[in-house]
Amino acid sequence: MEQDNSTTKLIVFSVLGGILLLILAIIGFQGKEEPVSLPIKFEQFTDFQCPACAFYHDKINSIVSEFGDNVDYQFINYPLLSLHPNVKIAHQAGVAASNQGMFKEYSDLLFANQDAQSEEDLIKYAQDLGLDMEKFQNDLKSEETIAKVDADMAYGMSKNINYTPAIYINNERMVFKNGDDQFQVIRDRLSELITRAQ
């Protein structure tokens, strides 16, 4: 009987010990923060004919400028073709302008003229910016340009994004609550990650 009791006690203590170790491991895991390094990755999935994207445009540019080299801003082409069936060529034009180092200026024009994005309009904007027109027109419909836009779209679809603008900071989707100052929430998150990285 004493041997049976000893065996039972040993089993009970072993089980309790295992549970305690598991609890400690869970607490330790939850309290552990992922390492952060600079620059912070800031991805914005955008549609050039999306009104909300136009609203975000200047404000996000301001935030990116504010944080400077601490942020790696990445514009991701994500035309919502079910809503804006003709917008893809505007994204191709953005890539063509980017090839000449003029993406910011060109995207400013696209967001300011969301109702005027025919191919003729896109060429005019490039002319207004003084781009090399032969290169721009070659790049506009090149295989490389189309592949870039398609790759961005596939990347967004892999994340199940169904709206724009969608913002990811260090691979974490930013989700806003009703009443949030969305741009302050973005600033606070960037500040927090930069502080952790320093």
Q: Which of 194, 161, 170 is nearest to 53 (CA)?
A: 161
In Å, how far are 18, 31, 34 from 23, measured between CA atoms?
9, 12, 20
User: What are 68-108's pLDDT values in tens digits?
Assistant: 999 999 999 999 999 999 999 999 999 999 999 999 999 99
**pTM assigned to the model:** 0.81
